[in-house]
């Protein structure tokens, strides 16, 4: 891996991407083209979301990267090296549906994966105790996997992915099967990994999860990259501001009603969008009106859900970009 010039602001040398995929293609036996052309770049120390509807090719892309599915075409690099068995000790992987032999206990599962990663027994025990507690399985180490619910199995899957303290964590649908508390725990765990400088690539169609933790996203659709970029850039709607105001009135002031779009009202709180260049006028009108109290005005941000459905529907109409 070629080192890049040091970043004067941090003093830490910047190095190449954690993951580089170029021109990935997978034609399954039987002629199904699951991935037609996917390129992906994940910067070190970031959390990157791989998004897409069912069947978009997310899992196949991850499996090609991990060597679990033979690619038809493409270049795959992990931490600057060609992806392959030599790299497997430096990464942790949570599959979409983790499966562990039912007659093993949670601690035995951790021991098995720790040994696979070349760790010694004492190190695995120490790591197991920390990780089981981090994923909410404190005190469950001696329990058989067969007694675990789907959500508990998912938590154990995440603990096993972290056992070797990997530099890169690849999570396929990490929130799948988890209740809201479990989803929050996993979000916090992912953010804690980023704090430690670990790169995380996660695949998901749980958009709120991606929005909460990812620095960047790549959106797949029908085996191709439909969009990529920083989440904030993708979601900011240029030229629109969102206004929050309080009033017991049953309609907006006449002077601004005609320029307002997307009005949502509830319990005296009004949220509406306006063209950004009309912001001054709207502030003045609300200030001058005794019935209205301006709470906030800020650039409008689309929800990832809206963005995603818009993207997929415009592609269905044959448009490539918005
Ligand atoms: P999901 O969100 O539903 O998990 P995904 O984006 O991860 O979907 P993949 O699992 O990569 O998508 O599947 C992409 C396409 O390839 C789908 O149409 C799927 O049916 C097909 N596919 C996946 N595995 C195989 C296989 N082993 N043989 C043939 N086709 C496959």
- pLDDT in the model for residue 212: 82
- The fraction of the chain above a pLDDT of 90, given in percent, is 57
What pLDDT does residue 150 have? Answer: 86
- % of the chain beyond a pLDDT of 70: 88
Tell how far the Cα of 207 is from the centroid of ligand 1, in angstroms: 19
pLDDT of the residue at 180? 84
Query: How many Cα atoms within 13 Å fall on the side-chain side of residue 44?
Result: 18
- How far is the C-alpha of 182 from the C-alpha of 177, rounded, in Å? 9
C-alpha distances in Å from residue 128, one per residue of 146, 169, 191: 19, 17, 20
Ligand 1 centroid from CA 35, angstroms: 9
What domains are there in the chain, each with its CATH number? 8-222 (3.40.50.300), 236-304 (3.30.70.2280)
Of 123 and 299, the one with more pLDDT: 123
Q: What is the pLDDT of residues 42-100, one digit of tens each?
A: 999 999 999 888 889 999 999 999 999 999 999 999 988 888 777 777 899 999 889 99
Say which residue, 2 or 277, is predicted with more confidence: 277
pLDDT at 37: 96
Q: Is 28 in the pocket of ligand 1 (CB under 6 A)?
A: yes
pLDDT for position 35: 97
Which residue from 21, 27, 52, 57 has its CB within 8 A of the most atoms of ligand 1, so it is best to mutate? 57
Residue 280 is predicted with a pLDDT of 93
Q: Contact, 50 vs 214, CB < 8 A?
A: no
pTM (two decimals): 0.76
C-alpha of residue 60 to centroid of ligand 1, in Å: 6
Testing ligand 1's pocket by substitution, the residue of 29, 59, 74, 204 carrying the most ligand atoms inside 8 A of its CB is 59
Q: Which atom of ligand 1 is the closest one to the Cα of 69?
A: 27
The pick from 27, 28, 51, 55 for probing ligand 1's pocket by mutation, whose C-beta has the most ligand atoms within 8 angstroms, reads: 55
C-alpha of residue 34 to centroid of ligand 1, in Å: 6
At 296 the pLDDT is: 94
Question: Which residue's CA is the nearest one to ligand 1's atom 21?
Answer: 34
**pLDDT score recorded for residue 221:** 87
For all residues of the chain together, what is the average pLDDT? 86
Q: Which pLDDT band, with edges at 50, 70 and 90, does 1 fall under? A: very low
pLDDT for the residue 178: 81
178-197 pLDDT, tens digit per residue, is 888 888 888 888 998 999 99
Helices (H) and strands (E) in the chain — how many of each? 10, 14
Per-residue pLDDT at 175: 85
Distance 73 CA to ligand 1 centre (A): 17
Q: Is 60 in the pocket of ligand 1 (CB under 6 A)?
A: yes
Any atom of ligand 1 within 6 Å of the Cβ of 150: no
Nearest CA to ligand 1 atom 29: 28
Give, using CA atoms, the residue closest to atom 28 of ligand 1: 28
- Check whether 13 has a pLDDT greater than 70: no
CA distances from residue 21 to 62, 63, 64, 83, 239 in whole angstroms, order as listed: 10, 12, 10, 10, 35
The answer to whether residues 289 and 254 touch, using CB atoms and an 8 Å cutoff, is: no
What pLDDT, on a 0 to 100 scale, did the predictor assign at position 184? 86
pLDDT tens readout for residues 251-280? 999 999 999 988 989 889 999 999 999 999
Which bin fits 20, alpha (ψ -120 to 50), beta or left (φ > 0)?
A: beta
Torsion of CA 68, 89, 54, 52, to 10 degrees: -130
What lies within 8 Å, CB to CB, of 301 at 6+ separation is 232, 235, 236, 237, 242
Higher per-residue confidence, 302 vs 78: 78
* From 21, 27, 32, mutation site for ligand 1 pocket: most ligand atoms within 8 A of C-beta: 32
Model pLDDT, residue 281? 93
**β 261-266/269-275 pair status:** antiparallel
Report the atom number in ligand 1 closest to the C-alpha of 57: 11
**Average pLDDT for 120-125:** 96
Cα separation, 55 vs 37, whole angstroms: 14
Lowest mean pLDDT among 103-107, 153-157, 208-212: 208-212
φ, ψ of residue 16 to 5 degrees: the values are -65, 180
Measured CA distances, 142 to 132, 137, 195 (Å): 11, 10, 30
């Amino acid at each position: 891996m070629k080192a890049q010039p040091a970043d004067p602001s941090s003093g830490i040398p910047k190095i190449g991407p954690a993951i580089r995929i170029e021109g990935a293609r997978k034609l399954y036996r039987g002629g199904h083209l699951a991935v037609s052309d996917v390129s992906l770049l994940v910067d070190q120390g970031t959390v990157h979301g791989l998004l897409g509807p069912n069947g978009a090719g997310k899992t196949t892309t991850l499996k090609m990267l991990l060597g679990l599915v033979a690619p038809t075409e493409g270049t795959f690099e992990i931490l600057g090296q060609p992806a392959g068995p030599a790299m497997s000790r430096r990464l942790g992987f949570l599959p979409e549906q983790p499966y562990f032999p039912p007659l093993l206990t949670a601690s035995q599962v951790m021991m098995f994966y720790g040994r696979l990663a070349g760790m010694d027994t004492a190190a695995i025990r120490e790591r197991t105790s920390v990780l089981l507690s981090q994923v909410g399985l404190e005190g469950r180490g001696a329990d058989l996997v067969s007694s675990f619910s789907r959500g508990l199995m998912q938590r154990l899957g995440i603990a096993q992915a972290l056992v070797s303290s990997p530099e890169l964590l690849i999570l396929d649908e990490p929130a799948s099967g988890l209740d809201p508390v479990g989803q929050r725990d996993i979000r916090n765990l992912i953010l804690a990994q980023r704090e430690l400088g670990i790169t995380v690539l996660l695949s998901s169609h749980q958009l709120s999860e991606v929005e909460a933790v990812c620095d960047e996203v790549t959106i797949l659709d029908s085996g191709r990259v439909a969009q990529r970029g920083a989440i904030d850039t993708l979601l900011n709607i240029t030229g629109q501001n969102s206004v929050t105001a309080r009033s017991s009135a049953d309609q907006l002031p006449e002077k601004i009603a005609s320029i307002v779009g997307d009005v949502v009202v509830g319990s005296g709180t009004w949220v509406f969008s306006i063209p950004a260049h009309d912001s001054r006028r709207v502030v003045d009108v609300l200030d001058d009106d005794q019935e209205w109290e301006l709470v906030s005005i800020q650039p409008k941000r689309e929800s990832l859900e809206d963005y995603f459905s818009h993207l997929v529907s415009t592609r269905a109409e044959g448009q490539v970009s918005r």
